[in-house]
Structure 1
Amino acid sequence: MRGLVLTLAVALPVGLAGCASDEQPEYVERPVGELYNQAMDQLLDEQYDTAAETFDEVERQHPYSTWASKAQLMAAYAHYLNDNYTEAVNALDRFIELHPGNRDIAYAYYLKALSYYEQIADVRRDQKMTRQARNVLQEVVDRFPGTKYARDARLKLDLTEDHLAGAEMVVGRYYLEKGHYLAAIKRFRRVVEDYQTTTHVPEALHRLVEAYMALGVVDEAKATAAVLGHNYPSSDWYADSYQLLTGRDMNPERDEDSWISRVWGTVS
């Protein structure tokens, strides 16, 4: 994952010469090349906090230099490598606001997306970071569709969608087990409606059948089972739904007036 961000980050300082000492007197103005190369040395030595401070010093001492914007971006990268994601996002937001036309703007958005993506929590926990990662990953895809960052962002988008659907499934299963069927239906419907390309849809459809049967809403149960059988005929979840219905002398049956048919289309 970090190989892609490192490729550009290491390429940024090309064109500067000179070697710098790790010792830096405070508030002493120094040549931009000396400062920048020192920061790069610190970064490569994995002194990430110190590198970020030195990159910030490049911008402070030489705000109108062509290297000031590069230093802003590299400071964000140093924070990212140090898992200081909040500082990385703040630095990237500032870079994006100040330099919307910069040649490295796609990289900035991508690094911001990664800063959220790497904070994605277990599906049993709050998914705020997952939603933020999805939003910025989508921005990368929409704004920079032909870049290598967009290609990677598309893959990660699929994973975030699956993760969000998984979180809904955890809550839905909990409500189903507790007999809170309406609350469970709400969660499973969200998976079926909002995350149709994820791996969780077959189970969500089956759980809807279970919840509808528990409530005695047999028409919706049969219609949902019909959609499940049409789209996932070989799924174990369809086998379970089919058994549940036939065990009560019922069969999957389409219903064009059902919400599930409107979302997934009429089954034949």
Structure 2
Amino acid sequence: MERRNRANGKRGLKFLLPVLLSILLLMGFSSCAWFAKKEPATNPQAAYEEGMRLLEEKKYERSAEAFRKFKEDFPLSTYTPLAELRLADSLYFDKNYAEAIVLYEEFKKLHPVHPEIPYAIYQIGMCHFKQMLSIDRDQTVTEKALEQFRYVVENFPQSKYAPDAKTKMQLCQRHLADHEFSIGHFYYRMDHYRAALGRFEDIPKKYPDAGLEGKIKPLIEACRKKIAQEEKKQKEREEREAKKKKGP
């Protein structure tokens, strides 16, 4: 009887040992995972500077990740507005323009009197500027870029971003003027002189600094001449028709 009990005890141990080993292994992995977890940073300045280091090294995905984590760890820090702006910058330099615009706009709403507001608006303009299409394509983004640069120039003329915003304004205006000119020239080549004239005459009104006056002036004169000739021919046709109706 005693031998049988010992045998049963040994069999029980054989079954228990794998179970105990599994439990110990699981506990070991859990404790390792717990120790492996990174504690949140306790120094906002150091965390911000680390994000800036990554941004300056052009590691934009990692800098974006660092600034997102900063926002989570230090939502009330004095560095948080700048971290929000640098997150937008990380996306901008990584050519994620649509996402960057959303974050710059969010910065404007959250911090309407922050000293970096001119920069945020300028950067929204740059996001649109970087997406401008050739003059034969839709120019919606060019118009949006022009709007943002104009806002900086008119509302923050003393800002350090105003001079470049003014330069970008002129580039946008020239691009839009070239777009209008290409449409006008197409109408001109198709003998639609009135439509062409309308486009050519609008360019100096809409974009006075585009510098296309010398190019447009002879075409405006040519359109007017062609229109006058068409009107004369039309009048002559009408007179002939009127004579036919009267008879001999």
TMscore range, shorter length = 0.7 to 0.9
Deviation readout 1:114-173 (Å, 9 max, x if unpaired): 222222222122111111111000110112111221111112211111111111001110
Find the counterpart in structure 2 of residue 138 from structure 1.
Answer: 150
> Using the alignment, how far apart are the partners of 2:155 and 2:208 within structure 1?
24
Find the counterpart in structure 2 of residue 190 from structure 1.
Answer: 202
Deviation for aligned residue 1:26: 7.7
Q: Does 1:91 align with 2:103?
A: yes
Task: State whether residues 212 and 218 of structure 1, in contact with CA within 8 Å, keep that contact through their aligned partners in structure 2.
Answer: no
Decide which structure has greater helix share.
2
Partner of residue 74 from structure 1, selected from 83, 86, 91? 86
Runs ≥4 in structure 1, deviation > 3 angstroms?
A: 25-28
> Using the alignment, how far apart are the partners of 1:26 and 1:186 within structure 2?
68
Mapping for residues 99-114 of structure 1, pairs under 5 Å: 99-114=111-126
Q: Does 1:30 align with 2:41?
A: yes
- CA RMSD across the alignment: 2.1
Q: Greater CA radius of gyration, 1 or 2?
A: 2
Task: State whether residues 204 and 210 of structure 2, in contact with CA within 8 Å, keep that contact through their aligned partners in structure 1.
Answer: no
Find the counterpart in structure 2 of residue 177 from structure 1.
Answer: 189
3-state SS of paired residue (2:157): coil
Q: Does 1:151 align with 2:163?
A: yes
> Using the alignment, how far apart are the partners of 1:49 and 1:171 within structure 2?
41
Task: State whether residues 117 and 133 of structure 1, in contact with CA within 8 Å, keep that contact through their aligned partners in structure 2.
Answer: yes
Identity of aligned residues (%): 29
Provide closer, same or farther for how the CA distance between residues 144 and 55 of structure 1 changes in structure 2, counting only shifts above 3 A. same
Find the counterpart in structure 2 of residue 122 from structure 1.
Answer: 134
3-state SS of paired residue (1:216): helix
- Count of matched residue positions in the alignment of Structure 1 and Structure 2: 195
TM-score, structure 2 as length reference? 0.73
Deviation for aligned residue 1:79: 1.1
